[in-house]
Structure 1
């Protein structure tokens, strides 16, 4: 009787181990599948961003080439001439391109900061930035673009307050 009980116990333990091994295999398979799906979602987000960036550039290009179409995008704080509007639209294209590169991970936040610091040396880009502050005020609090906008606002104020002509050292890159 003891042998039968011991055999039954060993059989029960073996069965439990087999079930645990099968469950472990199922969990590992699910983790692998979840990791794959997360990568696919990440890649799809990059594809969507690239498609949006391409569409944005096409629309801006049409507006830059056509004063009539550019009037549709004239939502700046101050009235602008057709020439200034085209310059602002191009400044927007430069900014959104850099923002896109940051979002997909091609440049770091520090690199974006340095690039924008260089862009802000151009008076037209500075005018554009001020002319679009109302648009940035409508961005969702805490969104990537709102945070980047605040970073650039701070940088612009630091550049304007700087006593040095060495603009490339002005401002602290974000942490």
Structure 2
């Protein structure tokens, strides 16, 4: 005679299969979540790179435009008069020299902003440029313009650095200008 067993045996197999299915689904969801998080991090990284690249492109375009405008002013006394905002009146010749000194300084500032020069390297190059009396005159003649720069901006900070360097050069008792001043560090 055959006995029929009743109970949970028939129910256990579907329950185990269901638990296995749920466990598998949770594992798959967890793996998808990790993959999505990794993709999101990678996308954020790429967006930052694109943003940085775009900023450098914008700076390069601005630098090119600045040089074109200065070149026109250097070549044309009439246009140079528009840029004559120096603290002391400047002759036509002096104005052209100041504009060129501005181009040299702006070039260093640009190189610093895009990361091609460190602050220490800008410091060293400015120490050399400040040996030229025209560059020193330009620096003093543009003091008022630098005073209007927003505090904390790259240009304001470098301007303060050059002001300090110029003071140190003026106070130095040695002829070895290349050792005067402490580079500011980053």
Which category describes the TM-score, using the shorter chain as reference length? over 0.9
* Pair 1:146-2:163 in alignment: no
Equivalent-residue separation in structure 1 for 2:174 and 2:66 (angstroms): 37
Structure 1 residue aligned with 2:124: 114
* Pair 1:55-2:48 in alignment: no
CA-to-aligned-CA distance 1:76-107 (integer Å, 9 cap, x gap): 11111111111000000000011111111111
Structure 1: 5+ residue stretches without partners? none
Normalising by structure 1, we get a TM-score of 0.95
Structure 2 residue aligned with 1:124: 134
Deviation at 1:161, TM superposition (A): 0.5
Deviation at 1:174, TM superposition (A): 1.1
Structure 1 residue aligned with 2:4: none
Cα RMSD (Å): 1.2
Q: How many residues align?
A: 175
Equivalent-residue separation in structure 2 for 1:66 and 1:52 (angstroms): 21
* Pair 1:155-2:151 in alignment: no
Deviation at 1:145, TM superposition (A): 0.7
Instruction: Choose from 47, 68, 77 the match for 2:87.
Output: 77
Equivalent-residue separation in structure 1 for 2:135 and 2:125 (angstroms): 12
Report SS of the residue matched to 2:148: coil
Report SS of the residue matched to 2:112: helix
Instruction: Choose from 11, 17, 32 the match for 2:27.
Output: 17
Report SS of the residue matched to 2:162: helix
Structure possessing the higher radius of gyration over alpha carbons: 2
Deviation at 1:108, TM superposition (A): 1.3
Structure 1 residue aligned with 2:182: 172
4+ runs of 1 displaced by more than 6 Å?
none
Equivalent-residue separation in structure 2 for 1:168 and 1:49 (angstroms): 30
* Pair 1:42-2:52 in alignment: yes
Equivalent-residue separation in structure 2 for 1:173 and 1:109 (angstroms): 8
Structure 2: 5+ residue stretches without partners? 1-10
